[in-house]
């Protein structure tokens, strides 16, 4: 696993400027990391992706690709495939504790918003599979390992791994989510950057035991919400458990503790809550976390930079985390290519270009958390609050 030799920054033959800092390590193989690998390879860089999990992570909730992010997907050549993978939701219902329907809508869903629009709702792992398949050629993937140390000098970053031997890279990109290890190593403890929005959310796969046909059903009791919606052409379903609370103290890798929190919080809640609580213990893709945002004064430190949730998670309340990851990956690589690998200039321009877009989309989630009304027009303005430049051809 030798790191490739870095290209010279000196002018090449004929006076053209040679791209430098070509060897780039990406931490995280979810939406941001996979999109980064795709664009880096197309711009003439040499990406390596390290991922803690033994392979692509399965499961996850329905996610949305909105606004300017659809242009990013189109430029990747994946828009038709992404649209073909849509969840195709037809609507949603709310029921009482006995399962009797209270209301229904065929105009909007809780996960995707308005049905009649150009947005694409797709299951998270369907999108990551498409991104991985599109960008695997020319990218080195290291699964089952994690970065344990970062030591920068004038020329590179010395990276330590839990299992592999140390390696040197020109640049390191943290695309490793809300609890980013790269952010902790390069910027400090996550407690400095997390902004809690007052609730917690669990998502996991279950059998489609209600026989839902591209439909979502929810039950509310006090400050709890129980949800179930069909997935993968109705062959399975996703369970959603959401509750408001003060900030809770738990290890984000201690799944049993997280499950026990849900058992305690949803005790006595009706409808299908007892069945979902029983099912979650065997769910292979169980996810639980706080609804929180990541806010940093800067997204880069030397040769290390953050993209997506690692740098500016908006929380699932915004419905924009996936789109922000796709756009952030494109903008960063565009700036690296446009600045011939000069990371100082590229990182500064990346942040300058993204700050307004990130701020507007994080505000959507903050407004929802504070009980303020967010209209479809508000969401559309935030989703389009940036303009994409062209990615320069590499030579």
Tens of pLDDT along 208-223? 999 999 999 999 999 9
pLDDT at 7: 36
Residues 137-154 have a mean pLDDT of 96
Domain with 38, as residue range(s), is 20-383
- Within the chain, residue ranges assigned H as helices are 31-42, 68-75, 79-84, 124-135, 181-187, 255-265, 273-279, 309-312, 321-338, 343-369, 376-383
11, part of any domain: no
Average pLDDT over residues 166-178: 97
In this prediction, residue 58 has a pLDDT band, given cuts at 50, 70 and 90, of confident
Is 6's pLDDT higher than 90?
A: no
Q: Is residue 389 part of a domain?
A: no
Q: Please tell me the distance from the alpha carbon of residue 386 to that of residue 308, in angstroms, as a whole number.
A: 15
What's the average model confidence in pLDDT over 308-325? 95
| Domain containing residue 326: CATH number | 3.50.50.60
Q: Residue 181's closest CA among 145, 143, 146?
A: 146
State mean pLDDT over 223-239.
95
Give the whole-angstrom CA distance, residue 156 versus residue 216: 49
pLDDT at 68 over 70: yes
14 pLDDT more than 80? no
Number of domains in the chain: 1
Q: What's the pLDDT at 11? A: 40
pLDDT, tens only, 73-109: 999 999 999 999 999 999 999 999 999 999 999 999 9
What is the reported pLDDT for 134? 87
327-366 pLDDT, tens digit each: 999 999 999 999 988 999 999 999 999 999 999 999 999 9
In a domain, 9, yes or no: no
CA angle 19, 20, 26 (to 5 degrees): 110
Residue 19: per-residue pLDDT? 59
pLDDT for 20: 67
Quote the percentage of the chain above a pLDDT of 70.
Answer: 94
Where in 45-118 does DSSP place strands (E)? 46-51, 62-65, 91-95, 101-105, 108-109, 113-114
Give the closest residue to 175 by CA, choosing from 164, 186, 163, 191. Answer: 186
In this prediction, residue 200 carries a pLDDT of 97
Chain segment 179-215, per-residue pLDDT in tens: 999 999 999 999 999 999 999 999 999 999 999 999 9
Residue 255, pLDDT > 70, answer yes
CA–CA dist 322, 33 (Å, integer) = 11
In a domain, residue 104? The reply is yes
Residue 8, in any domain of the structure: no
280: Cβ–Cβ under 8 A, 6 or more apart, which residues? Answer: 202, 204, 239, 241, 259, 262, 286
Residue 176 falls inside a structural domain = yes
Q: What is the mean pLDDT of residues 322-328?
A: 97
The answer to whether 63 and 321 have CB atoms below 8 angstroms apart is yes
From CA 384, how far away is CA 379, in angstroms rounded?
9
Is residue 123 in a domain? yes
Calculate what percentage of the chain has a pLDDT beyond 90: 85
Residue 145: burial class (beta carbons within 10 Å; 0-12, 13-18, 19+): middle
Is residue 228 scored above 80 in pLDDT? Answer: yes
**Could you give phi then psi for residue 246, rounded to 5 degrees?**
-75, 175
Whether 13 is covered by a domain: the verdict is: no
Instruction: Decide if pLDDT at 393 tops 80.
Output: no
């Amino acid at each position: 696993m030798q790191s490739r030799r870095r290209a010279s920054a000196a002018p090449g033959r004929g006076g053209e400027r040679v791209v430098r800092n070509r060897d780039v390590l990406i931490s995280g193989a979810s939406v941001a990391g996979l999109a980064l690998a795709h664009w880096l390879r197309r711009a003439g860089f040499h990406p390596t992706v390290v991922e803690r999990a033994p392979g692509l992570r399965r499961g996850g909730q329905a996610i949305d690709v909105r606004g300017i992010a659809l242009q990013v997907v189109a430029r990747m050549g994946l828009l038709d495939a992404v649209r073909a993978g849509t969840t195709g939701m037809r609507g949603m219902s709310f029921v009482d504790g006995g399962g009797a329907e209270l209301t229904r809508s065929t105009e909007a869903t809780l996960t995707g918003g308005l049905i009649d629009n150009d947005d694409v709702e797709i299951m998270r792992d369907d999108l990551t599979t498409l991104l991985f398949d599109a960008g695997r050629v020319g990218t080195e993937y290291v699964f089952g390992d994690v970065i344990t140390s970062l030591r920068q000098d004038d020329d590179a970053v010395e990276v330590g791994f839990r299992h592999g031997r140390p390696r040197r890279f020109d640049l390191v990109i943290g695309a490793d989510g809300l609890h980013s290890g790269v952010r902790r190593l390069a910027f400090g403890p996550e407690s400095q950057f997390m902004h809690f929005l007052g609730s917690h959310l669990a998502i996991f796969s279950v059998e489609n035991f209600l026989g839902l046909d591209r439909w979502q059903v929810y039950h509310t009791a006090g400050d709890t919400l129980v949800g179930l919606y069909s997935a993968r052409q109705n062959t399975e379903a996703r369970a959603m458990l959401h509750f408001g609370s003060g900030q809770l103290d738990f290890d984000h890798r201690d799944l049993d503790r997280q499950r026990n929190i849900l058992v305690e919080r949803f005790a006595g809640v009706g409808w299908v809550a007892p069945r979902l609580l029983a099912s979650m213990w065997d769910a292979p893709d169980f996810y639980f976390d706080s609804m929180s945002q990541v806010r940093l004064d800067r997204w880069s430190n030397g040769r290390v930079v953050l993209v997506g949730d690692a740098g500016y998670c908006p929380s699932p309340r915004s419905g924009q985390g996936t789109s922000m990851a796709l756009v952030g990956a494109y903008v960063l690589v565009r700036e690296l290519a446009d600045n011939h690998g000069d990371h100082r200039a590229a990182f500064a321009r990346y942040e300058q270009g993204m700050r307004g877009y990130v701020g507007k989309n994080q505000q959507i989630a903050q407004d929802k958390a504070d009980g303020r009304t967010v209209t479809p027009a508000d969401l559309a303005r935030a989703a389009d609050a940036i303009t994409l430049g062209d990615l320069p051809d590499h030579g």
